[in-house]
Structure 1
Amino acid sequence: MTDQVGQVSEEIKETYEDFEEKVIEIRRTAKVTKGGKNLSFRAVVVVGNRKGKVGLGIGKAREVPDAIRKAIADAKKNLIEVPIYNGTIP
């Protein structure tokens, strides 16, 4: 919900402090151009809180840390709810 000035209400804001981040894959890619090869990196990251919320993200950048940071931000945007019964996925 938003109030009159477009601010997100405090009860809807989600905190990501208890989320764990796991890098699944880092891959180097090369784009061949007339001037040579342009190297970049792609990172695949999963985030989750072990309480049923999980997200997958992909980030691309010229440096590995930037690609990981972008992938984490993308994963937090793509959160889904996974049902958990008796501590496991049914």
Structure 2
Amino acid sequence: MAKVENQQQGDLLEKLVAVNRVSKVVKGGRIFSFTALTVVGDGNGRVGFGYGKAREVPAAIQKAMEKARRNLVTVDLNGNTLQHPIKGRHSGSKVYM
């Protein structure tokens, strides 16, 4: 259920990367909740990501956006691009920039 959504907030560009439904099994049945992954950046070297969890989709997206804005880091750019290729790996995910 990957979905991309753009939204402009001040000078930051916000993108919704994915929304996922997860379930927790309890004695009375299943409890469904949602997770959202978002990325925020200004297009000038500041970027952050956020992961939010809630019982409803809009609440999960809002939590993820708030966490992304708090998690901003600065990436050194050479003009409008990275200075050299970067590879990263965490668990099963691989990123090449």
TM-score (norm 2): 0.74
Q: Which of 36, 50, 53 lines up with 2:46 in the alignment? A: 53
Could you tell me the percent identity over the aligned residues? 47
Q: Which has the higher contact order (CA 8 A, sep 6+)?
A: 1
Q: Secondary structure at the match of 2:78?
A: coil
Q: Distance in 2 between matches of 1:72 and 1:86?
A: 27
* Aligned residue pairs, count: 75
Q: CA RMSD in A?
A: 0.9
Q: What residue in structure 2 maps to residue 4 of structure 1?
A: none
- Residue 86 (structure 1) shift: 1.6
Greater than 3 Å deviation, 4+ residue runs: none
Deviation string 1:2-48 (CA, Å, 9 cap, x unpaired) is xxxxxxxxxxxxxx611011111111000000011000000000000
Flag structure 2 segments of 5+ consecutive residues without an equivalent.
Answer: 1-8, 84-97
- Relative to the length of structure 1, the TM-score reads 0.80
Aligned to 1:17: 10
* Aligned counterpart for 1:87 among listed residues 50, 70, 80: 80
The answer as to 2:30 corresponding to 1:37 is yes
Distance 1:78 1:86 in 2: 23
SS in 1 for 2:81: coil
Counterparts of 1:89 and 1:65 in 2: how far apart (Å)?
A: 34
